[in-house]
A and B are shown apart, each in its own frame.
Chain A
Amino acid sequence: MTRTLPLDRPAATTTLEVEDLVVEVLTENGWATVVDGVSFSLGRGETLGIVGESGSGKSVTCLAIAGLMPPRQTRVRAGTLRLLGQDLTALDQRQMADIRGPRIAMIFQEPMSSLNPAFTVGDQIAEVLRRHEGLSRKASKARAIELLDRVGVPNPARRFGQYPFEFSGGMRQRVMIAIALACTPDIIIADEPTTALDVTVQAQILELLRAIQREHGMSVIFITHDLGVVADVCDRVLVMYAGQIVEGALLDELFEDPQHPYMEGLLMAMPRMDQVSEALVSIPGHPPQVGAMPAGCRFHPRCSYTREQCTHGDAPALEQVGPTHTTRCLRHPELTLRGTT
């Protein structure tokens, strides 16, 4: 897999452009911003990781891109949201529904609850084909069986007619992948697809996703909080904290030379086989609550490098620290953060 994709690429190879994405949700105290000015681009065939703790806005970012945020309780704004040159912000609900499936597909975290218990898995795959490709019942069934076979479900013709409760977690996630793959989308958004699975099954699912991506040259956005998974599958990584991107870099750059104290903290908190004796270091404190963001750098209350300048004013801007590396830390020129090799 190539690891040398530049951050700014010619338009022809850019699948998705997101600029200044803002998502607000309605809370008891009014509108609160949960995703604040997220910008990134996704290249064709690229796997982009988005990492962060729960509540950092990584899932919301992706749901918003796919137009899946509930309309009345949430507001989504974006400077630019472009899929292969097509402006998604101009589309209404119906047109967005046409995009989901053939252009953007999603795989969710909970394979146990993400499939409808009342319909056969085969029907749940076939209905995507009937909806978007206008296939007949018979043709969609044949294609669905092929898809089940492709994602490694044994005995696909028989499994087609079975219900989700007859499948194990790993097998259900394969079914979810088959659903996502059905119309060969340009982008697959995988939202913690392996978090709920056993470690051995995790590896199989990751391998399957990689193989499918290679076959079809799809772009993948991989949301996770597991840096091990990131290291395994991603070309480039965005780190999110409290609704903002705080660092973005190619995989190796990020791990070897983190430029934001939060990323350093995540790396230090990662268990490692080669450093058995060293105790794990966790990041002290908790991420801020929605609607109660600290002034200045949003990470400053938990940061061990905080100085007076970090604690007031607006959040620092995302700065370019290398051709493919950005960070949102005021002190990055003076800090030398620890990475891994």
Chain B
Amino acid sequence: MLRFLLLRVLTTIPVLVLVTFVVFGLVLLIPGDPAVTIAGPDATVEQVAAIRERLGLDRSLLVQYWDWVTSAMSGDLGTSLYTSRAVATSIGDALPVSIALAGAALLVSLVIAVPTAIVSALRRGTWIDRVATLGSSLGIALPSFWLGLVFVLVFSLTLGWLPATGYVPFATDPAAWVTHLILPALTLGIAGAAESTRQLRGSIIGVLQQDYVRTARAKGLRGRMVVGKHVMKNASVPLVTVLGLQITALLGGAVLVEQVFGVPGLGQVAIAAVTTRDIPVIQGIVLVAVLVAVVCNLLVDLVYGYLNPKVRPR
């Protein structure tokens, strides 16, 4: 298993190298010169040139790339062109918030999807199944920012149960941390829940027709054991694929939800950076996002190995 892990980590290195090229190169494609933006509309050509030199923008691209990569590897992602804060610090502040939000959204998604899919698949064709299918269609179709506004209107403004906006770090007040996360997580998790429900329902229906499920029944196992053990372990494989995709999408999708609920996550930092062409921050965020995606893929592969012994290395 350890060898598999090591091998799997090693194979991500070329991916990462490629990604650093793309991340670094993408910025070149963005129209506009950051030195011009920083210097302001009234700056002289000399002033702009001075800024370019200070930022190292006048050096060759390869040198700039190498400089950036080696610093990034030592944890130095540069300094924001505007706030003069270290990029690593900004990301370090925002990342835990985003991870908490994405994690909570994933939890919401699973808590809704797994029971719904199981009941739906076992009662296929009944009204429960039809309601669940309709619900998941709605969940996929409804835009998250609209859903977020409706939740705020109902649960905060009308019922007054939950705070409408803001974020409290866990270390400050765990209870407030939870209450502040509920609405954004619900908003963010519902689309994923709908997608997972569909996927899981389909795969459970497929697995229920397998001969080994009949064997499990023929052994006299209770229904809970047949479904919870024999069906679910096999039916979870497509779900894990979907979840792996969702986790990365959750970080991206969080941008809107973070705006609606005023959550200071990576999305907020990203928006600010993009609107000001704050290149080091953009690069840092994309790099972190890619790292998260790579780690998620690694986790998905490990879970595949647990669920399907055939893909395990031996």
Contact = CB atoms under 8 A, between A and B. Distances in A.
User: A and B, one complex?
Assistant: yes
A68 interface: yes
B274 interface: no
Nearest to A109: B211
Interface in A117-133: 117-119, 127-128, 131-132
B230 A116 contact: yes
Nearest to B230: A116
B48 interface: no
B215 A131 contact: no
B32 interface: no
A127 to B, nearest CB: 7
Contact of A68 (B218, B229, B307): B218
B220 A102 contact: yes
A108 interface: yes
A102 B221 CA distance: 11
Interface in A83-118: 93-94, 97-102, 105-106, 108, 110, 113-118
B220 A113 contact: no
A326 B161 CA distance: 77
Contacts of B308: 117-118
B220 A115 contact: no
A99 B218 CA distance: 10
Given A110-B211, A163-B309, A119 B233 contact: yes
A113 B221 CA distance: 18
Contacts, number: 76
Interface size bucket, A side?
20 to 34
Contacts of B230: 116, 118-119
A116 B234 contact: yes
Nearest to B212: A116
Nearest to B124: A72
Interface string B83-105: 00000000000000000000000
Interface string B286-304: 0000000000000000000
A97 B221 contact: yes
A131 B234 contact: no
Interface in B218-256: 218-223, 225, 229-230, 233-234
A127 B219 contact: yes
A97 B226 CA distance: 11
A117 B309 contact: yes
Contacts of B218: 66, 68, 100, 105-106, 108
A-B pairs with lowest CB-CB distance, top 6: A100-B220, A101-B220, A113-B211, A116-B212, A106-B218, A163-B309
Interface of B: 210-212, 214-223, 225, 229-230, 233-234, 307-310
11 contacts: A100-B217, A106-B215, A106-B218, A108-B214, A108-B215, A113-B210, A115-B212, A116-B230, A117-B310, A118-B308, A132-B220
Interface of A: 66, 68, 93-94, 97-102, 105-106, 108, 110, 113-119, 127-128, 131-132, 163, 165, 176, 179
Given A108-B211, A132-B220, A176-B215, 15 more contacts: A68-B218, A101-B219, A106-B215, A108-B215, A108-B218, A110-B211, A113-B210, A114-B212, A114-B214, A116-B212, A116-B234, A118-B230, A163-B310, A165-B310, A179-B215
